[in-house]
Amino acid sequence: MFKIVTQSVFLFFLALLLVILQFSFISSTPYPWYNFNLLLLVLILAFLVSPKEQVFFLALAMGYLVDIFSFQAFGAATLSMFFSALIIYVVLENILTNRSLYSFIILAMLGILTDRLFYHLFVFIFDWSGNNSAFFLWQGFFWESLAWSLFFGLILLILSFHLIVILNKKLKPFFLSKG
């Protein structure tokens, strides 16, 4: 029990640090740099090295903290982070099971795409004030911003993956051959 509590406290503070970095440092950079989604990248990489319970806790903590810090509708980040983690987990366990770099590239693309779609969908649903002038899918800037998120996310994922491969022998930066 003590171990679970200490792990949870550690993960919460890790989430807090990551959210502060995303919220204050990355968000304050000019366009297009602020489209780099550090939180989601850490979430995808966390599936490589941590048990799924811890990753889901991290996702919830990051989502909740983003909801506190940001001025968008409360709950949008918590739900989008959770559902993105869920989709990444289901795909990782059932379809892309070989832990190769290619698998993680597809997972990263899927994760970033679902997170951004879920987040804006929930903001659109929860925002009762009617501030949303047009549905986000019809706005060109949404897709532009998503493309930059994917670009930065994939570059950082490839670099991080190779770093983890050096430290962890279980991962391979290529598909496993049948023979």
Q: List binders of other proteins among 65-94 (CB under 8 A).
A: 65-66, 68-72, 74-75, 77-79, 82, 86, 89-90, 93-94
Note whether 155 binds other proteins by CB under 8 A: no
At 27, list the tokens. 């968000």
Residue type, 148: W
Q: How far is the CB of 114 from other proteins (least distance, A)?
A: 14
Note whether 53 binds other proteins by CB under 8 A: yes
Instruction: Measure Cα distances from 23 to 62, 122, 132 in Å.
Output: 11, 19, 22
Q: How far is the CB of 70 from other proteins (least distance, A)?
A: 4
Span near other proteins by CB under 8 A; candidates 15-23, 42-50, 98-106, 170-178: 15-23
Note whether 127 binds other proteins by CB under 8 A: no
